[in-house]
Structure 1
Amino acid sequence: MHISEMFRLVRGTGHVLEVVDVLHRDRLALRIHDGAFSAMDLTTRHPRTGKLLPTVKFMVQTLAAAGELQRDLQRELTYDGRAAEAKGNKGGRHPAVPADKTDAVRTACLEGRSVAALARDHGVSRGAIRPAVADLMPDHTAIEEDTPAPEVPATLDMPGKIADFLRTTELEPAERATLDQGVTVRRGQGYTLRVTAVPAVHRRLLAHCQPLDDGQGVPAVPAQRKARREYENRVGTLTSPNHDRSHP
């Protein structure tokens, strides 16, 4: 005998025990494919007394009671739904503004009609009206797709020789403030200046160091030239999408 689920056969706690007794009496094998009873042998009896094992009986009664409660709750929800439908209340998601009504809703909104009034006019919720007129609301801020994202400050270690040179150079206030706020990190006999700024400021500071590389009015010093190229490599990483906004 095969059934898909136990509660297609029984209707309550007492009924399930009666079914188990019938199975044992008539020596029938019951195969339940789904549900909590699918892993149980409902015909297991004590070898001496012939009665249903206490543990099996307990599990059968517990699961049957849980199933009966589930059916009762489903029945109550069904009755409540029918009663609400009889009163004109429909469940599910609130209806949205139909596509052919969107222009009329937007026009009325521009004429000063409130969201609540529009919802009443079209028989929908205020939440359904708001998406259709969101860009017309006073607190809406338009975002242009072509507007570039603001630059995020990045931290780089500037070689000490570059920092010393820049301090003697005429800089913009923002560039000077960036140097003044840098953190000195000692490295042996030299140091680096840990500078945090947006990439544009880093690039402008690098541009001020150009004389160190081509000797424009500045004596060419190999150590300074090497430091400038090292700083150039670090600034160059700011254009990489994988840059983590910090440099060791």
Structure 2
Amino acid sequence: MVQTLAAAGGLQRDLQRELTYDGLRAVEAKGNKGGRRPAVPAAKAEAVRTAYLEGRSIAALARDHQVSRGAIRTAVADLLPDYTAAAPGAPAPETPVVLDMPGKVADFLRAAELDDAERASLDEGQAVRRGQGYTLRATAVPAVHRQLLDRCQVLDSTTAVPAQRKARREYENRVNGLAAHPES
């Protein structure tokens, strides 16, 4: 009974997430931008930027405009010394995602030759007990998960144990699910 309730809760959470992202995509398609409005309106932003370039401090600007220092920093973010702009048209950096890797796949990969990023994701992964086996909860960018999946390609051959083939297919489904759900 508890498993049934947990499954229903998971289904409800997935449905709610999908509806939320559908709504965000619809708003974006209309040309609107989601999120909170800036504390420094566009009309005042240019004056704040000019004053900052003239040497006024962030704290003084915040007092003058009655907003937080963070709001002023946001308005002048590209003028700050530690600002690094992304190149126009450059893809956004991939954010790390957490995937559960079957233990049979993790054991195979631990014995394989891996590069530093792949090895780090395996070493930093958290083992979660599952019956007689385990699952490795690995955090890495999707590209590293795809590389790990490619490295365990031999588990899909006929010489591999059926349990290993199944474990690899399960991991492949999870990695391929990243492309279908980029918000994960």
Normalised TM-score (structure 1): 0.41
1:220 deviates by 2.2
> Is residue 130 of structure 2 the alignment partner of residue 187 of structure 1?
yes
RCO (CA 8 Å, sep 6+): is it higher in 1 or 2?
Answer: 2
> Is residue 174 of structure 2 the alignment partner of residue 234 of structure 1?
yes
What does residue 9 of structure 1 align with? none
**Separation of aligned partners in 2, 1:243 and 1:141:** 24
Q: How many residues align?
A: 117
What does residue 113 of structure 2 align with? 170
What does residue 150 of structure 1 align with? 93
Larger radius of gyration: 1
**AA partner of residue 169 (structure 2):** R
What does residue 220 of structure 1 align with? 160
Of all paired residues, the percent bearing the same amino acid is 61
**Separation of aligned partners in 2, 1:153 and 1:138:** 27
1:168 deviates by 1.0
**AA partner of residue 131 (structure 2):** G
**AA partner of residue 165 (structure 2):** R
**Separation of aligned partners in 2, 1:150 and 1:220:** 36
**AA partner of residue 190 (structure 1):** G
**AA partner of residue 122 (structure 2):** L
Map Cα deviations across residues 82-112 of structure 1 (whole Å, 9 max, x no partner). Answer: xxxxxxxxxxx89x9xxxxxxxxxxxxxxxx
CA contact (8 A) 1:237 1:243 kept: no
**Separation of aligned partners in 2, 1:150 and 1:241:** 16
Normalised TM-score (structure 2): 0.54
* Unmatched 5+ stretches in structure 2: 1-42, 47-52, 55-75
* Unmatched 5+ stretches in structure 1: 1-92, 97-114, 117-133
**Separation of aligned partners in 1, 2:87 and 2:125:** 35
Map Cα deviations across residues 138-192 of structure 1 (whole Å, 9 max, x no partner). Answer: 9575443211111111001100100111111111122111111111111111110
**Separation of aligned partners in 2, 1:229 and 1:159:** 10
> Is residue 138 of structure 2 the alignment partner of residue 198 of structure 1?
no
CA contact (8 A) 1:175 1:201 kept: yes
Question: CA distance change for structure 1 residues 233 and 145 in 2, over 3 Å: closer, same or farther?
Answer: same
Root-mean-square deviation (CA), in Å? Answer: 3.2
Question: CA distance change for structure 1 residues 222 and 141 in 2, over 3 Å: closer, same or farther?
Answer: closer
